[in-house]
A and B are shown apart, each in its own frame.
Chain A
Amino acid sequence: MHVGLTGKKNYLQAMLYENLQIRPEDLPDVFKEPFNGHPKRYLRQRLISLSILFLVLGVGVTLLWMTGDPVPGLIATSILLLLRLFFEFKSFPLRGYLVREQDISYRSGILFREVTTVPYNRIQHSEVSQGPLGRAMKLSTLKIFTAGGSASDLSIHGLETETAERLKAWLTEKTAQHV
């Protein structure tokens, strides 16, 4: 195939051009990195919010069965709650975030494992927020926004407020380099 390499610009480009071989096995592997876990308090926060949710559910079930016997519904709700709590305990050690030079990842789940990665050069902005329960626990959420809708945004809950702020500052600095 003939490749036209005429003109000064093309020549300069060709001089500067480097094309090193990239072997897939040499690339940094996000799946082999040690992820940073959450502080233990986050597990407590999750358990509390789960319990509140199920308390509401339980009250709802009782009200629905006002005319009949609420016991079967309540038993079902309790079994569900126990299952959720069990998986919450089991999956907690798997939760974690990973900050690398070029991207940030979050891993979660035991029944459904997930790893989401957002490169810094695709982040629009980030923010730190805190709910009432988080305030009591001194935990914050780091939200990372990308362009176009919310599907690809990433939220990392249950971070030490200080960590969240530091991460946000890091992201802001990193994303500023790319704009």
Chain B
Amino acid sequence: MSESPFSVPRRQDPLGVIILFGQNLRNMVRILAGLVFASVYSDWGIFSVTNIVLFGTLIMAVYTVFQYLRFKFYIAGDELILEKGVFRRERLSIPLDRIQTVHLSQNLLQQVIQLTGVRIDTAGSGQEELKISALKREDALALQALLEGSNEEVKNQSLEGEVAPQAPRKTLVELTIPKLLVVGLTQNHLRSGLIAFAVVWGYLVQFEDVIRDYLDVNLDYSPEEVEQAVSSIEFGMTLIAFMILTFLAISVMISLVRTVIRHFGLKATLGPKTIQVSSGLIKRNEFTIPLNKIQIMRWQGNYLRRIPGFESVLIRQGRSGAQPSELNVEIPACYTDQTQALEQAIYGPEMEEPLHAYSPHPFSWVYMSTWALVIGLLPFGIAFLLLEDWKVALAYALYALIAILWVRKFVSTISLSTNGSLIQYRKGWLSTDRSLIKVYKIQSMTYRQSIFQARRGTAHLTLYTAGGSLTMRFMPESLVKELHNYYLYKVEVSEESWM
């Protein structure tokens, strides 16, 4: 390790000052945006705000230079050391065998200057974020290889020399532009639409007064005119149809844009020990995931994706609670071949023994329908109170019928398959969801049963891993208890590294 370029304390690339400045600027804008916005509508005048911003930027530039100079990193013995801090100096040391993932990313600025950021995660709870923001690409790659190579397991395996170290990497998925568009068009549009709606709503509430002022000024119709127009039924129907269409169109647009930003130029390759995924338009992310560090794999499909015949795959690694969800790795557009290749690479040995399938408790649909009916009572109840029309009760009956049919169909798709070393949980009808977990990755387990469930003997089982949890609901109580005991036994005798 002595010939490694990282054994002496070193700074980031000199151009990193610009990257750091960019980061600081972004943080400042985020904090000051509200202030500037407010000042436009108040008496301070834009001039003094400009001055404040200019002065702040100048101070920040000076601060950034010190920040750059104070930031040093090196590897000493079995630890990665980060030294940083302008006012309060910090020295972080991270034992190399605690490092879970090292991932590279480039935001727009980093792409322009051609520097790469390195993010290190230890999967400890509440650990602060470890980031080196500006390295030359070859340095970043070398550091990543060094940090991930130092992982005990990988080292041991390569020492045995059974797997050829330079086995070829296989391209799993490569998203061309047409394919990217197909992925975008087959997203769960309803979810995109709702997310957009929530975001817009949040902003609306924030700037409600401003918007109301604006709208008031620009409304040329008299209130009577508006009321008259709205009250006519045809207009109401047209309005609703128009709103639904607009919502759909906006949702599809948003799905497309999100997909392109996130998955542009996606390439996923599968090696003997790792999966590599790189993607992103504005910010390029590059993940290298050791196969033995994967905690949960999830395959998700929906009614639209069934047409081109692919599913998207989510890969969950051990991660700290503070880590943002953008770091969840997703490979969209996995066809059956690729799914099989992935399953074989990750779960090959576990899949050799056949899986036994179990269904939820036969009574589970009653619990779930009851839930749906109780939840439905609220909006329908309010509607009834407002409209005072018995047709609402009819609508509720219709809703109840659809809900029960829906739940029955949904329950019939749920299945748990296991063989003692692997768990597969599948659910979903219009949108499908299939999770795979190796039993030895489980790190704790919860058995849950409400007083109502106790009467019929059903219970939930939640399995927690370092990369998230899986809850199996309304399974037969005896099965849940048996699995709880059995999986505990399996985990407790397991010698394999679960992290």
Ordered nearest first, which 3 A-B pairs have the shortest CB separation?
A: A152-B464, A148-B466, A149-B321
A55 to B467, CA, bound (A): 40
A115, B499: Cβ atoms under 8 Å? no
B residues near A141, Cβ cutoff 8 Å: none
Jot down 26 A-B pairs with beta carbons below 8 A, ordered by A. A24-B485, A27-B485, A30-B488, A114-B448, A115-B484, A116-B445, A116-B447, A117-B445, A118-B443, A119-B492, A121-B491, A121-B492, A124-B124, A146-B125, A147-B123, A147-B318, A147-B466, A148-B318, A148-B321, A148-B467, A148-B468, A150-B125, A151-B468, A151-B469, A152-B464, A152-B469
Number of A residues with CB within 8 Å of any CB on chain B: 33
- Taking CB atoms and an 8 Å cut-off, the chain A residues in 104-151 that contact chain B are 110-122, 124, 145-151
Residues of chain A from 23 to 37 with CB closer than 8 A to chain B in the complex? 24, 27-31
B454-499 at interface with A (beta carbon < 8 Å): 454, 464-469, 481-482, 484-486, 488-489, 491-492, 494, 498-499
The reply to whether B446 and A145 contact each other, CB–CB distance below 8 Å, is no
State in angstroms the CA–CA spacing of A111 and B452 once bound together. 8
Decide: A113 and B454 in contact? CB cutoff 8 A.
yes
Query: Which A-chain residue is minimally distant from B499 (CB atoms)?
Result: A147
Q: Which of B443, B451, B494 contacts A152 (CB 8 A)?
A: B443
A88 within 8 Å of B (CB atoms): no
Is A66 interfacial (CB-CB < 8 Å)? no
In the complex, B298 has a CB within 8 A of chain A? no
Which residues of B are in contact with A by a Cβ distance under 8 Å? 123-126, 295, 318-321, 442-451, 454, 464-469, 481-482, 484-486, 488-489, 491-492, 494, 498-499
Residues in chain A near residue B318, CB distance under 8 A: 147-148
A102-B492, A103-B488 known; A146 vs B444 contact (CB < 8 Å):
yes
Q: Are the CB atoms of B485 and A146 closer together than 8 Å?
A: no
Contact status A112-B450, CB under 8 Å: yes
Closest beta carbon of chain A to B353's beta carbon, Å:
12
Shortest CB–CB separation between residue A7 and chain B, in angstroms? 10
CA distance A31 to B449 in the complex (A): 13
Given known A111-B451, A112-B451, contact A122–B444 (CB-CB < 8 A): yes
Q: Which residue of B lies closest to A104 (CB)?
A: B444
CB distance from B437 to the nearest CB of A (A): 13
Interface string of A92-103 (1 = CB under 8 A from B): 000000000011
Distance in Å: Cβ of A9 to nearest Cβ of chain B: 9
Return the contact of A145 from the options B125, B442, B468 (Cβ within 8 A).
B125
- Complex: chain B residue closest to A7, CB-CB: B162
Question: Which residues of A6-30 have CB atoms within 8 Å of chain B's CB atoms?
Answer: 22, 24, 27-30
Residues of A within 8 A of B465 (CB): 148, 152
- Chain B residues, CB < 8 A from A147: 123-125, 318, 443, 466, 499
Inter-chain contact B443/A122, CB cutoff 8 Å: yes
What's the Cα separation between A68 and B368 when bound, in Å?
40
Most interface-central of A24, A31, A110, A147 (chain B CB within 10 A): A147
Q: Which residues of B contact A164 (CB under 8 A)?
A: none
Taken together as a complex, chains A and B put the C-alpha atoms of A112 and B459 apart, in Å, by: 10
Instruction: State whether B491 touches A122 (Cβ < 8 A).
Output: yes
Determine whether the beta carbon of B488 is less than 8 Å from that of A148: no
For residue A153, CB closer than 8 A to chain B, the reply is yes
CB-defined contacts of A145 to chain B, threshold 8 Å: 125
Contacts A27-B486, A29-B485, A116-B445 known; list 12 others, CB within 8 Å.
A30-B484, A30-B485, A113-B447, A117-B484, A117-B488, A118-B444, A122-B498, A124-B125, A148-B295, A148-B321, A148-B468, A152-B464
Query: In the complex, what's the smallest C-beta–C-beta distance from A96 to chain B, in angstroms?
Result: 14
Chain A residues whose C-beta falls within 8 Å of the C-beta of B449 in the assembled complex: 112-114
Residue of B nearest to A114 (CB): B448
CB <8 Å contact, B450 and A103: no
Q: Which of A30, A113, A119 is the one whose CB lies under 8 Å from B443? A: A119
Q: In angstroms, how far is the closest chain A Cβ from the Cβ of B306?
A: 32
Is A149 touching B319 in the complex (CB atoms < 8 A)?
yes
Nearest B residue to A31 via CB reads B481
CA A37 to CA B125, docked complex, whole Å = 29
Q: How far, in whole Å, are A27 and B492 apart by their CA atoms in the complex?
A: 12
Do A113 and B448 have beta carbons less than 8 Å apart? yes
CA A96 to CA B498, docked complex, whole Å = 28
In the complex, which residues of chain A have a beta carbon less than 8 angstroms from the beta carbon of B445? 116-117
Give the distance to chain A from B290, nearest Cβ to Cβ, in Å. Answer: 15
Bound together, the chains give a CA A71 to CA B348 distance in angstroms of: 66
Which of A27, A118, A119, A149 contacts B125 (CB under 8 A)?
Answer: A149
In the complex, A28 Cα to B499 Cα: how many Å? 26
Q: Which residues of B contact A150 (CB under 8 A)?
A: 125-126, 321
Best-surrounded residue of B318, B464, B484 (most CB of chain A within 10 A) = B464
A154 proximal to B (CB < 8 A): yes
Contact call B464/A119, Cβ cutoff below 8 A: no
CA distance A150 to B321 in the complex (A): 6
Interface residues in A54-97 by Cβ distance below 8 A to B read none
Which residues from B are CB-within-8-Å of A24?
A: 482, 485-486
Instruction: State A102–B319 Cα separation when bound (angstroms).
Output: 25
Which A residues, 135 to 179, have Cβ-Cβ distances below 8 Å to chain B? 145-154
**Per a CB cutoff under 8 Å, which of A102, A115, A148 touches B123?**
A148
Complex contacts, B451 vs chain A, CB 8 Å? 110-113
